[in-house]
Chain A
Amino acid sequence: MALSQTEPEQTLRHETPPAPSTTLQENDNNSDSAALGVGFLSAALLSACGGNGNSAGSPAVVSADLARSQKAAVVAPLSANDASRFLSQAAFGGNDTDIAAVQSQGAAAWLQNQFSVATDQPNWAWMMSQGFNSVADVETTDGIDNSLWRKLMASPDTVRQRISLALSEIFVVSLEDLPMPWRNFAAAAYMDLLAANAFGNFRSLLQAVTLSPAMGVYLGTKGNEKEDPATGREADENYAREVMQLFTIGLNMLNNDGSVASGAGGKPIPTFTPTMVTQLAQVFTGWNFANSAAAVPTSLQAPMVLNASLHSTSAKSFLGATIAAGTDGNAALKIALDTLFNHPNLPPFFGRQLIQRMVSSNPSPAYISRVAAAFISGNGGLRGDMKSVISAVLTDPEAQTSITGLSNSAGKLREPVIRLAQWARTFKAVSASGKWAVGDTTNPSLKLGQSPLRSPTVFNFFSPGFVPPNNVLGNPALVAPELQITTEATVIGYANFLQTAINGQLADLTPDYSIETAMASNPANLFNRLNTLLAGGQLSSATATLIQNAINTIPITSTNGALNRVKAAIMMIMCGPEYIVQK
């Protein structure tokens, strides 16, 4: 699945930082100005890139700048546009308060603070409190879509929720194939688990996922029994295969920069053999739910437990590790997960996917290397420190390169789920009933063609290596995962469904357009505000002209004139390519 990529050369430009904007009404949009904020580094390396706006940085100048900046330890303030842009990468965009916070704290510090922001009610607890644990719910998915959308749209720990969503698209569990009583609660517990581990260590995350009851059902570890030589029955290989192929190391050996390593004759080197799958499968035997007397089994929230008599006692070897015959199941699990965790593929394999979920579809090899390095030894030499990896992804110079410095293949499509969540957070949508009954948004013609925890298969809604057909991107080395769900049905489904939401007709979600309607008599001000809020100021001046002229055709004095101007403007922006592709 991994494709080697060649990324067009990027030149870091050091722009003159603009005067910090205090309100979003300022004409802060991108238009023709190159002054769009500064590149910055992680909290450990604060940057004050100087230099004139349009000078292309030669490597010598760039490294001199960086050397100066490492001593300077001064953070130049971000523009509102760049703060908003950062929020699109790190979170689900944001409203005025979020943007102002990023501006005042600085992106790196804001991110560090986000690591400590408290979450609101976890999915499990909320669903219990809402009564989705009635007998009638036992074989349904009642309540889970409600709770997942509640978290996406309103949970205060916005970065944690964005990372949890990303993790749910790598360590996939799906309601579409979770045949068990209380699948709704099992899925709730799974999402709570991802959220709880989002800022911890990857090794803990891997263990928690492996022993998760929902994952146990989804990929077969639950009740998996040791091999039986008498009948020829082997252990179920589902989890063993996918934990390697999808969750940790992939199919081919990688270099640290994410490129596929070359073996004999320049061909890829497989990471594992089918024999290794069979052997590793024997490790994942003997695990099952703990007993639980509760009506909704609380054991669905706890790691599975080991029944030693059902655990395979054979000797096992895979990926260079050996497990001696008779090794206890817990010890065997530790060896297996340690082996996966320490595999050299894991940093680039996971790092590249995290970049793809947050920032861009085609990161340069150098960017991937930096993120991989953070995985290997971030936070003072700790392997797998999620905060280090997340910071590396979000504060990398390549993530922060201003739009004028980007190639024409930069960025990524925003996922439809994230677009809807951004609308909700930007305009502070509230569910009056508290039910957040957005529902399953999978329908491709009528809704988003995507819904949290409802991927069609364990391969997520889209593949990290998806190359659209007919060479649409003009370069067969480019991938665009989200294009896999961008079809003749979904592009229209999204637009029609979004319009319903914008119009306040999605369940009982009521947006707050008061600030926007107050400025709707001035289409330029309205446009600039929405451009900053939604698109990081990236909409061009040509687009600005078109939208402002169109807004003007709605008389401000007509019934709901101001409100209609606002809704129309949001729609024109959020259905346009400059918004849909974040850069």
Chain B
Amino acid sequence: MNVPNMHRRAFLRKSALMSAVLGTAGPWALNLAAMSEAAAQTASDYKALVCVFLVGGNDYGNTLIPYDNTNYNLYQSIRGQLAYPQSALAGTVLTPRIALPDARQMALAPELAPLVPLFNAGNMGVVLNVGPLVEPTTLTQYFNNSVLLPPNLFSHIDQQTFWQSSNPNGATSGWGGRIEDLMMSGNGNSMFSGMSVSGNAVFLSGNTASQFDIGTSGPVLLRETSQPLFGSMTCARTMQTLATQARANVLENAVTGMMQKAITGNASLSTAISGVPALKTQFDQTNSLATQLQMVAKLIAARGALGVKRQVFFVSLGGFDNHTMLMEQHPGLLTKVANAISSFYNATVELGVANQVTSFTASEFGRTLSPNGDGSDHGWGSHHFVVGGAVQGQSFYGTLPVTAVGGPDDVGQGRLLPSTAVDQLAASLASWLGVSASNMSTVLPYSGNFNLNTLNIFANQTTASIPAT
């Protein structure tokens, strides 16, 4: 089945209308006056969101797998050489508090076994078939080009950006950063409101908030801040002065501004982290996602010294673009994901903040269910995990898609039309972190198009909602 044309032109035309509705100067500029009306969100407790981004497009088909005989057989017949044997899944079948309809059963991939105890203890849930949407979209509407869609749907960079920002490539703010725009005034040191252990991520950039990037080896200190430069303290100071001075050339000024922030920030981080006891929880040092989450755990341990109350973190693991060699590569990636997430959860328990830290997986898209040989191609909707003590876990959120190619959820070769929008997931997470219903549209511009009360990931959530049309 062919995938029809994208709707970019329609999207951009209507986005101009949307900015008129929002009262903004341009398509992507937020109305800061409206934001200032909203009370700065303050809270006396601590909460953190952790985005675990799987780069490349995680293959949903082999992440959450049909296990009941009817659906397993469908899965196996579609996936062919990519299918796990049913016997391999017996140990990771999920038993939710509320059974799935139609006697359906789902199993995690065998490599995700470490997540099963989290699920069973109610500390993990599965968001079904979630993906970027601008407005609610049926299959007919999709094929008829009659609704707004995210532009460039099967392009990595555009969908990574859209997942993180609700904007296409070129966006300069993400919803994690826009959450921090609202919340960072409650942070003693707002510089650390959004932290990445994985380089630059638009997810963490707000309109005023900016991310802080730290490596897995922790804060780095510029030698010249504490040592002479080749024997001269004057040279050390001069090097610092030159490297941090304001400059007329805007590129130069961006560099020196970053160095100034880096020196100040890393010094604070170093002091804060050295003041907290080392974690006992073990993280696999050969697993880059684990070492990133270990750094996040260290930063959370230092939250008191850093004076932060609301934080958003970003970590990532690459390698998920499995056009080829899916069965050789994907299982190992899932092993890393499961080990890293479960170690991280254990660390939050050790730190006494298990109920205050929520992690979620994300990826630019799912993939096809039909193979292209020994791999799968770019898709759309995918299944993701939400993990943390505050999660009403042992649950599936959203709607389980039909196991089929050419079925009611399929836009081509088993690419899923999302039944849950990223905005719905994001709104639940933002609301849990403390974003009020009245502020939700500044964080998620299209969230007003969706019913934001359907997922029930957390207890007692009321988010802004407009009945779905």
Residue in chain A with minimal CB distance to B376: A236
Decide: A469 and B262 in contact? CB cutoff 8 A. no
User: Which of B1-9, B107-115, B120-128, B390-398 contacts the other chain?
Assistant: B1-9
Stretch of A24-32, A49-57, A203-211, A481-489 with 4 or more beta carbons under 8 angstroms from chain B: A481-489
Neighbouring B residues of A580 by C-beta, 8 Å: 252, 255
Name the one of A235, A444, A457, A473 contacting B318, with C-beta atoms under 8 angstroms: A457
Cβ of B266 within 8 Å of any chain A Cβ, yes or no, is: yes
Q: From residue B101, how far is it (CB to closest CB) to chain A in Å?
A: 27
User: Is B12's beta carbon under 8 Å from chain A?
Assistant: yes
A220-B230 CB under 8 A given contacts A475-B250, A577-B243: no
Distance A487 CA – B221 CA, assembled complex (angstroms):
14
Q: How far is the CB of A482 from chain B (nearest CB, A)?
A: 9
Q: Decide: A485 and B199 in contact? CB cutoff 8 A.
A: yes
Q: Indicate whether B217 reaches chain A with its CB closer than 8 angstroms.
A: yes
Q: A473-B254, A547-B238 are in contact. Are A446 and B220 (CB under 8 A)?
A: yes
Stretch at the interface among A124-132, A186-194, A315-323, A493-501: A493-501
A465 (CB) vs chain B CBs: closest residue: B170
Most A CB within 10 A of own CB, among B170, B196, B211, B233: B170
Cβ contacts under 8 Å, B257 to chain A: 472
Is the C-beta of B418 less than 8 angstroms from some C-beta in chain A?
Answer: no
How many Å lie between the Cα of A495 and that of B259 in the bound state? 10
CA distance A476 to B261 in the complex (A): 22
Check if B329 is an interface residue, CB within 8 A of chain A. Answer: yes
Are A546 and B258 in touch, CB under 8 angstroms?
no
Task: Please indicate the chain B residues that have their CB under 8 angstroms from the CB of A264 in the complex.
Answer: 9
- Residue-wise, chain B 314-326 has the 8 Å CB interface mask toward A (1 for contact) of 0000110101110
Are the C-beta atoms of A408 and B242 separated by less than 8 Å?
no
Considering only residues 419-477 of chain A, those with a C-beta below 8 Å from chain B are 443-446, 449, 456-459, 463, 465, 467-476
CB pair B323 A220 closer than 8 Å? yes
Contact with A along B447-464 (1 / 0, CB 8 A): 000000000000000000
User: Could you give, for residues 560-583 of chain A, a 1 whenever the CB lies within 8 Å of some chain B CB and a 0 otherwise?
Assistant: 000011011001100111101101
Q: Is the C-beta of A265 less than 8 angstroms from some C-beta in chain B?
A: yes
Q: Which range holds the interface residue count of chain B?
A: 35 or more
Cα–Cα, bound, A469→B56 (Å): 23
Q: When the two chains form their complex, are residues A237 and B251 in contact, meaning their CB atoms are under 8 A apart? A: no
Task: Assess whether A492 is in contact with B262, with CB atoms less than 8 Å apart.
Answer: yes
Interface presence of A179 (CB below 8 A): yes
Q: Which residues of chain B are near A179, meaning CB under 8 Å?
A: 325, 328-329
| Chain B residues within an 8 Å CB radius of A554 | 230-232, 235
User: Is B375 touching A236 in the complex (CB atoms < 8 A)?
Assistant: yes
Size range of the chain A interface in the assembly: 35 or more
In-complex Cβ contact of A459 among B156, B223, B324, B375 (8 A)? B156
> Does B352 have its Cβ within 8 Å of any Cβ on chain A?
no
Contact indicator A550/B232 (Cβ below 8 Å): yes
Residues B137-176 near A (CB distance < 8 A) = 152-158, 169-170, 172-173
Contacts of A491 in B (CB 8 A): 243, 255, 258-259, 262
Is A263 at the interface (CB under 8 A from chain B)?
Answer: yes
Of all chain A residues, the one with the shortest Cβ separation from B195 is A488
Residues in A neighbouring B239, C-beta threshold 8 A = 495, 550, 568, 571-572, 575-576
Cβ of A577 and Cβ of B372 under 8 Å apart?
no
CB distance from B369 to the nearest CB of A (A): 10
Beta-carbon contact of B242 and A576 below 8 Å: yes
Residues of A within 8 A of B214 (CB): 445, 488-489
Q: B-facing mask of A384-420, CB < 8 A → 1, else 0?
A: 0000000000000000000000001111110000000
Give the distance in Å from the alpha carbon of A491 to the alpha carbon of B78 in the complex.
49
With A278-B2, A486-B255 known to touch, is A408 a contact of B213 (CB < 8 Å)? no
Known: A274-B154, A568-B229. A492 touches B373 (CB 8 A): no
* Known contacts A241-B154, A456-B318; A486 and B254 CB within 8 A of each other: yes
Q: Is B247 an interface residue (CB 8 A)?
A: yes
Whether B222 and A444, one on each chain, are in contact in the complex, defined by CB atoms closer than 8 angstroms, is no
Q: Which residues of B contact A251 (CB under 8 A)?
A: 152, 155, 158
* A223 close to chain B: CB less than 8 A: yes
Closest Cβ neighbor of A503 among chain B residues: B230
Closest chain B residue, CB of each to CB of A443: B215
Known contacts A268-B8, A488-B261, A547-B238; is-contact A412 B251 (Cβ 8 Å): yes
In the complex where A488-B213, A581-B255 touch, is A495 in contact with B243 (Cβ < 8 A)?
Answer: yes
In the bound complex, CA of A487 to CA of B78 (Å): 45
Distance in angstroms from A492 CB to nearest chain B CB is 5
Q: Does B280 contact A (CB under 8 A)?
A: no
- Cβ of B245 under 8 Å from chain A: yes
Chain B residues in 8 Å Cβ range of A176? 318
Given A445-B214, A577-B252, A274 contacting B6 (CB threshold 8 A):
yes
Which among B2, B210, B235, B261 has the greatest number of chain A C-beta atoms within 10 A?
A: B235
**Residues of B189-238 whose CB lies within 8 A of A:** 196, 199-200, 202, 205-208, 210-218, 220-224, 229-235, 237-238
Contacts known (A470-B208, A550-B234); A446 close to B249, Cβ less than 8 A:
no
Cβ–Cβ contact A487 & B229, under 8 A: no
Residue from A3, A217, A471, A577 within 8 A of B245 (CB atoms): A577
| B238 contacts A234, C-beta separation under 8 Å | no
A412–B255 Cα gap in the complex (Å)? 11
- Say whether B318 contacts A470, CB under 8 Å: no
Which of A40-48, A114-122, A224-232 touches B? A224-232
- Residues facing A in B352-382 (CB within 8 A) are 368, 370-375, 377-378
Chain B min CB distance to A307 (Å): 14
B-side contacts of A220, CB under 8 Å: 323-324, 375
Across the two chains, which residue of chain A brings its CB closest to B158? A251
What 10 A-B pairs are tightest by C-beta distance, nearest first?
A445-B215, A469-B205, A487-B213, A577-B252, A550-B238, A576-B242, A564-B230, A488-B262, A274-B3, A553-B234
18 contacts between A and B (CB under 8 A): A3-B170, A234-B370, A268-B12, A273-B5, A274-B2, A275-B2, A277-B154, A408-B248, A444-B199, A472-B254, A480-B251, A490-B213, A492-B222, A564-B231, A568-B235, A575-B242, A575-B243, A577-B247
Given A1-B157, A268-B12, 16 further pairs, Cβ under 8 A: A1-B169, A176-B318, A219-B323, A220-B375, A232-B370, A241-B155, A264-B9, A270-B6, A274-B2, A361-B251, A410-B249, A445-B218, A483-B255, A496-B220, A549-B238, A550-B235
